[in-house]
């Protein structure tokens, strides 16, 4: 707890044993994704870079609404529109072409039943490689909630959570050292946490600044 106070972390949203931190980069997306009653036509596209927390926020939405979570790459022409209080379609921008009609039917069934439909993707619907005109028009009509790259406070919170998930407890100064030198993305935070976790386990070492400086190659630092 002392470490979290020293690092001035942003607001945490509890999700079971997990946590979702709300900062400047994801505040608007959090507000939109957790208020499906405000979505025009009952749908929302949640967009952000890899590792930005889209899945985490989608799971928070699913826990609160009882939504069924589908993976777009796993959809097939044989997939039937589900019956559920809400629906999440993850990685909608990676939908197979042969499953475009499937998503079209899922969309229409959700709309007819007034079932909230949340779609996650790395890019907005206007940039998805969708060929079916009817599906494209309906996806592009969805409002877009964007998650941006993290600011210092949010990146710090994400790093602390990633380290906690791995049983690591770096001192606050080590986390600050990373935040001021690493590329500013959630994906990079996950990569660095994995790298340091493996190195610390192999050497039975603590995550001090000298250790981090030795383990991370110069290209991992932008400062």
> Does domain 2-9+149-220 sit in CATH 1.10.4100?
no
How far, in Å, CA of 134 to CA of 155, rounded? Answer: 39
Q: What is the mean pLDDT of the chain?
A: 90
Tell me, what's the pLDDT at 223? 44
Whole-structure pTM value: 0.81
Average pLDDT for 173-188: 91
Tell me, what's the pLDDT at 179? 95
Q: Does 86 have pLDDT greater than 70?
A: yes
Residue 52: pLDDT band with limits 50, 70, 90: confident
Residue 35: pLDDT band with limits 50, 70, 90: very high
Q: Does 221 have pLDDT greater than 60?
A: no
Average pLDDT for 165-170: 92
CATH 3.40.50.300 placement within the chain: 26-146
Q: Which two tokens stand for residue 52?
A: 């930005």
How far, in Å, CA of 109 to CA of 81, rounded? Answer: 7
CATH 1.10.8 placement within the chain: 2-9+149-220
- How does strand 18-22 pair with strand 11-15? antiparallel
The third-level CATH classification (topology) of the domain covering 26-146 is: Rossmann fold (3.40.50)
């Amino acid at each position: 707890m002392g470490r979290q106070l020293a690092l001035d972390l942003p607001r945490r949203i509890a999700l079971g044993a997990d946590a979702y931190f709300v900062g400047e980069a994801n505040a608007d997306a959090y507000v939109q994704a957790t208020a499906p009653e405000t979505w025009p036509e009952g749908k929302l596209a949640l967009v952000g870079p890899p590792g930005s927390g889209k899945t985490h926020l989608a799971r928070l939405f699913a826990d609160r609404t009882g939504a069924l979570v589908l993976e777009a790459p796993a959809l097939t022409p044989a997939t039937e529109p589900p019956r559920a209080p809400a629906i999440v379609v993850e990685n909608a921008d990676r939908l197979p072409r042969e499953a475009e009609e499937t998503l079209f039917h899922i969309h229409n069934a959700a709309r007819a039943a007034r079932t909230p439909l949340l779609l996650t993707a790395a890019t907005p619907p206007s940039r998805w490689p969708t060929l079916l005109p009817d599906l494209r028009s309906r996806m592009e009509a969805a409002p877009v909630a964007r998650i941006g790259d993290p600011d210092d406070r949010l990146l710090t919170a994400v790093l602390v959570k990633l380290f906690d998930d791995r049983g690591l407890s770096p001192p606050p100064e080590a986390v600050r050292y990373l935040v001021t030198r690493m590329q500013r993305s959630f994906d990079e935070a996950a990569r660095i946490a994995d790298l340091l976790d493996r190195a610390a386990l192999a050497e039975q070492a603590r995550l001090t600044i000298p250790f981090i400086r030795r383990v991370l190659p110069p290209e991992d630092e932008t400062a």
